């Protein structure tokens, strides 16, 4: 770097976020992040174990273990940075949206060729990312079209392989998060975060990205357009978990938000009220797979839920973001 | 043959400079879109110091614009996933025509005129298949003539090469669908590229980055008079990595990536917004609104030369005395050899791009 010119004509935003972020970072890592990955590994281990004893797609034990583990993942999936992002682990847990139908193709390919990768966890982890994770397992457990392919013994081995792969992936995240967490609580030259502000900004991005994904993708995809609603595009609709994911993600993001806004009680109260409205709407919506988005009444209710999440996003970006030193700049906030 | 090609390239280059029409509107040097305090989005013509010479309302937030090579006409785009573009007569300040994306397509926000100004090309998303498309329009009527594949997913910026017969396209690689807003749908499998096509869509050259950089979305372009292409990138991978955000490429060769030293590079948050060569052809720069920085490099040896701290800087273009920039805080300024000098500070928020109308080199 030969010259580093700083222009004083324009002052950068600073000062507002000069607060001590250490207590919040400690709180978020110890009570929000690490327990979620601990719970994830517990429930994915139970899923892998259950699949070993009972690989019948209709088994109530297997489906219950699947549901519990998927709940844990949805409740942690907004923490999509650091060890969660390494090697596309988050996508390997849930390959969705699958706009080109890669998941059923990958599974059919395994079944039709009786791919031996199912015999080795290391080999399975190297197969197509679309054939891994909870959405692939959902196809195996709930999609009648898959149940007609190949033979039952191979499908059983495939179910076990996917469940084991999910568990190994969860273990890798959990292990790595334990060593990564000090990066957030002790930022500096040895950390990817040079300051507490940078670590706070990472958490804030996780919050806003999580809200965006739930509003625009989990709800936006099944809503489609008024002329052409797309209920078949709802996330995990075969297991009727679509609405549940919206609710679980909002509950997880509410917890993160309360911790991030701890030093700003008024903003925290505004956000808490907005989350309460959105979660109320989700809980009173009796349409688990968004199958009713094609009816005017059903559509209005899902749109109202989407709007209530967008209200949270608005408060987060205009009030919470600036307190964390996130520039609400015209270009930096919403670039292209 | 070689000498003939150079001769033709020279002719095409000469035709970039406005020859009539443009001077009569008070000599705008740049076009830029902005949000004004009254809540309106407008496309403005600016002089070389950033004064607004004219200003035309847009129906929604704008993105980029393309200036006609001869007539005082410009096409302004909505930001993606917009379905409108408007053709503006910059002399009268009126909208001549509204372009609407065909059914099943939306615009990405960039376009390019042919050298003679008779055809216009737009980057578009065929969103049900997620295939990138280049739309072809007849400028006399702005009727759609047809379309051809862009050579990838998510084509964003596109420029006419100096030979007048080649388009260079930044296929950003990111799949989106208007029903899920701006959500990125294919990050694990995204594969951006730089594609060169002739004006009928035949692919002449195509380059990808090394596999470790497949999440570095190639988004914006600058083309030097001799055909050297600069491309600016937006990193979609881990924020703890700080890959290069600027590349140089010459058709038929391998790309070269340029980066600031890590202490500077790591502040950019993996995001470059605009890119431009300076008029003297010696420098290239990128704007980084998330890092509140403008980074300048020496084109000849590829070294990083300066970082300028500028809040929310994004628009960038060549001016007669140096690179010119705009910011989301309403500033307009010029880089000289060591400093960034603000020449106009307006009460508006300049949007992503600053489009030079005149050619200074």
Q: What is the full per-residue pLDDT of chain B (361 aa) written as tens digits?
A: 333 333 333 333 333 444 456 665 566 889 999 999 898 999 999 999 999 988 888 888 888 999 999 888 999 998 888 888 999 888 777 889 999 999 999 999 999 999 999 999 999 999 989 999 999 999 999 999 999 999 999 999 999 999 999 999 999 999 998 888 777 888 888 999 999 999 999 999 999 999 999 999 999 999 999 999 999 999 998 878 899 999 999 999 999 999 999 889 988 989 999 999 999 999 999 999 988 999 999 999 999 999 999 999 999 999 999 999 999 999 999 999 899 999 999 999 999 999 988 665 4
**pTM across the whole model:** 0.83
Domain boundary among A159, A185, A211: A185
pLDDT, position A75: 98
pLDDT, position B82: 87
Task: Please indicate, yes or no, whether residues A165 and A31 belong to a single structural domain of this protein.
Answer: yes
What's the CA gap between B181 and A98, in Å, rounded? 16
Whether A110 is in a domain gets the answer yes
Whether A190 is in a domain gets the answer no
Q: Where are the domains of chain B?
A: 2-356
For chain A, the domain total comes to: 2
Judged by CB atoms closer than 8 Å, whether chains meet at B80 and A330 is answered as: no
Task: Please indicate, yes or no, whether residues A96 and A169 belong to a single structural domain of this protein.
Answer: yes
Whether A3 is in a domain gets the answer no
pLDDT, position B39: 87
Task: Please indicate, yes or no, whether residues A235 and A148 belong to a single structural domain of this protein.
Answer: no
- Domain ranges, residue A31: 22-185
Whether A4 is in a domain gets the answer no
Task: Please indicate, yes or no, whether residues A212 and A172 belong to a single structural domain of this protein.
Answer: no
3-state class percentages of chain A: helix first, strand second, coil last, to nearest 5: 70, 0, 30
Whether A304 is in a domain gets the answer yes
**Could you say which residues from 132 to 171 on chain B have a Cβ atom under 8 Å away from some Cβ of chain A?**
156
Domain boundary among A157, A185, A213: A185
Q: At CB < 8 A and 24+ separation, what contacts does A225-234 make?
A: A225/B179, A226/A299, A229/A293, A229/A294, A229/A299, A230/A293, A230/B179, A231/A289, A231/A290, A231/A291, A231/A292, A231/A293, A231/A294, A233/A97, A234/A289, A234/A290, A234/A291
Task: Please indicate, yes or no, whether residues A66 and A154 belong to a single structural domain of this protein.
Answer: yes
| Intervals of chain A under pLDDT 70 | 1-19, 327-329, 333-335
Pairing mode, if any, of strands B203-207 and B216-223? unpaired
pLDDT, position B24: 58
Beta-carbon contacts below 8 Å between A and B: 141
pLDDT, position A310: 97
Task: Please indicate, yes or no, whether residues A38 and A179 belong to a single structural domain of this protein.
Answer: yes
CATH number for A281: 1.20.120
Judged by CB atoms closer than 8 Å, whether chains meet at A82 and B309 is answered as: no
Whether residue B116 is preceded by a cis peptide bond, meaning omega within 30 degrees of 0, is no
SS (H, E, C) chain B: CHHHHHHHHHHHHHHHCCCCCHHHHCCCCEEEEEECCCCCEEEEEECCCCCEEEEEEECCCEEEEEECCCCCEEEEEECCCCCEEEEEECCCCEEEEEEECCCCEEEEEEEEECCCCCEEEEEEEECCCCEEEEEEEECCCCEEEEEEECCCCCEEEEEECCCCCEEEEEECCCCCCHHHCCCCCCHHHCCCEEEEEECCCCEEEEECCCHHHCCEEEEEEEECCCCCEEEEEEECCCCCCCCCCEEEECCCCCCEEECCCHHHHCCCCCECCEEEECCCCCEEEEEECCCCEEEEEECCCCCEEEEEECCCEEEEEECCCCEEEEECCCEEEEECCCCEEEEEECCCEEEEEEEECCCCC
Q: Which architecture, in CATH terms, is B2-356?
A: 7 Propeller (2.130)
Whether A104 is in a domain gets the answer yes
Structure tokens at A96: 């969705």
Chain A residues whose CB is inside 8 A of the B79 CB are 336
Task: Please indicate, yes or no, whether residues A219 and A164 belong to a single structural domain of this protein.
Answer: no
pLDDT, position B358: 67
Q: Does A297 touch chain B (CB under 8 A)?
A: no
Chain B residues whose CB is inside 8 A of the A96 CB are none
Across the interface, of A6, A7, A192, the residue whose CB is closest to B240 is A192
pLDDT, position A190: 85
Task: Please indicate, yes or no, whether residues A157 and A201 belong to a single structural domain of this protein.
Answer: no
What's the CA gap between B149 and B131, in Å, rounded? 7
Judged by CB atoms closer than 8 Å, whether chains meet at A129 and B352 is answered as: no
For A136-194, what is each residue's pLDDT tens digit? 999 999 999 998 899 999 999 999 999 999 999 999 999 999 999 999 999 988 888 88
Task: Please indicate, yes or no, whether residues A222 and A251 belong to a single structural domain of this protein.
Answer: yes
For B112-158, what is each residue's pLDDT tens digit? 999 999 999 999 999 989 999 999 999 999 999 999 999 999 999 99
Task: Please indicate, yes or no, whether residues A205 and A297 belong to a single structural domain of this protein.
Answer: yes
């Amino acid at each position: 770097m030969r010259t580093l010119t700083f222009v004083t004509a324009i002052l950068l935003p600073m000062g507002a976020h000069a607060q001590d972020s250490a207590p919040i970072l400690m709180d978020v890592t110890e009570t929000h992040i690490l327990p979620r990955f601990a719970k994830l590994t517990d429930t994915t281990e139970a899923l892998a174990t259950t699949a070993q004893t009972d690989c019948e797609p209709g088994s109530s034990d297997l489906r219950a273990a699947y549901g519990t583990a998927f709940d844990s993942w949805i409740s942690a999936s907004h923490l999509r940075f650091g060890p969660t992002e390494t090697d596309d682990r988050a996508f390997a847990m849930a390959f969705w949206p699958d706009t080109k139908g890669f998941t059923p193709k990958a599974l059919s390919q395994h079944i039709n060729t009786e791919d031996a990768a199912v015999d080795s966890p290391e080999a399975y982890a190297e197969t197509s990312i679309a054939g891994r994770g909870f959405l692939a397992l959902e196809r195996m457990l709930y999609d009648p079209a898959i149940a007609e392919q190949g033979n039952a013994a191979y499908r059983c081995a495939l179910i076990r392989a996917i469940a084991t792969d999910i568990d190994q992936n969860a273990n890798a995240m959990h292990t790595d998060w334990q060593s990564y967490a000090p990066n957030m609580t002790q930022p500096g030259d040895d950390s990817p975060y040079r300051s507490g502000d940078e670590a706070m900004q990472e958490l804030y991005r996780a919050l806003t990205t999580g809200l965006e994904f739930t509003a625009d993708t989990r709800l936006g995809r099944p809503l489609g357009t008024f002329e052409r609603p797309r209920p078949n595009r709802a996330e995990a609709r075969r297991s009727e978990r679509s609405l549940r994911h919206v609710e679980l993600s909002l509950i997880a993001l509410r917890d993160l938000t309360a911790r991030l806004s701890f030093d700003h009680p008024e903003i925290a109260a505004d956000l808490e009220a907005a989350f309460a409205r959105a979660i109320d709407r989700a809980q009173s919506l009796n349409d688990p797979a968004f199958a009713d988005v094609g009816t005017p009444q059903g559509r209005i209710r899902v749109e109202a839920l989407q709007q209530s999440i967008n209200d949270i996003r608005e408060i987060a970006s205009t009030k919470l973001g600036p307190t964390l030193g996130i520039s609400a700049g015209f270009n930096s906030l919403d670039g292209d | 043959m070689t000498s003939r090609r150079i001769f033709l390239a020279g002719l095409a280059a000469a035709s970039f400079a406005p020859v009539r029409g443009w001077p009569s509107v008070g000599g705008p040097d740049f076009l830029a879109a902005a949000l004004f305090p009254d809540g309106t989005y407008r496309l403005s013509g600016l002089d070389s110091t950033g004064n607004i010479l004219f200003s035309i309302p847009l129906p929604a937030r704008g993105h980029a614009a393309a200036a006609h090579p001869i007539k005082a006409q410009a096409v302004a785009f909505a930001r993606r996933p917009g379905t409108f573009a408007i053709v503006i007569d910059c002399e009268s300040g009126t909208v001549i025509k509204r372009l609407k994306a065909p059914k099943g397509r939306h615009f990405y926000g960039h376009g390019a005129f042919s050298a003679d100004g008779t055809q216009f090309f737009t980057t578009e998303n065929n969103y049900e298949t997620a295939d990138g498309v280049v739309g072809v329009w007849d400028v006399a009527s702005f009727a759609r003539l047809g379309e051809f594949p862009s050579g990838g997913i998510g084509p964003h910026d596109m420029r006419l090469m100096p030979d007048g017969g080649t388009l260079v396209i930044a296929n950003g690689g990111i799949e989106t669908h208007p029903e899920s807003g701006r959500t990125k749908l294919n990050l694990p499998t995204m594969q951006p590229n730089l594609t060169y096509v002739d004006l009928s869509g035949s692919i002449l050259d195509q380059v990808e980055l090394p596999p470790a950089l497949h999440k570095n979305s190639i988004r914006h372009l600058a083309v030097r008079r001799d055909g050297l292409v600069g491309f600016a990138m937006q990193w979609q991978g881990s924020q703890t990595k700080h890959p290069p955000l600027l590349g140089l490429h010459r058709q038929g060769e391998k790309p070269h990536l340029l980066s600031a030293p890590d202490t500077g590079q790591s502040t950019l948050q993996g995001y470059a917004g605009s890119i431009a060569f300076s008029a003297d052809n010696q420098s290239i720069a990128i704007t980084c609104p998330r890092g509140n920085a403008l980074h300048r490099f020496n084109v000849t040896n590829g070294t990083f030369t300066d970082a300028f701290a500028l809040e929310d800087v994004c628009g960038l273009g060549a001016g007669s005395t140096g690179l010119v920039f705009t910011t989301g805080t309403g500033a307009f300024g010029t880089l000289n050899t060591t400093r960034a000098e603000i020449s106009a500070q307006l009460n508006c928020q300049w949007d992503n791009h600053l489009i030079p109308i005149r050619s200074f080199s």
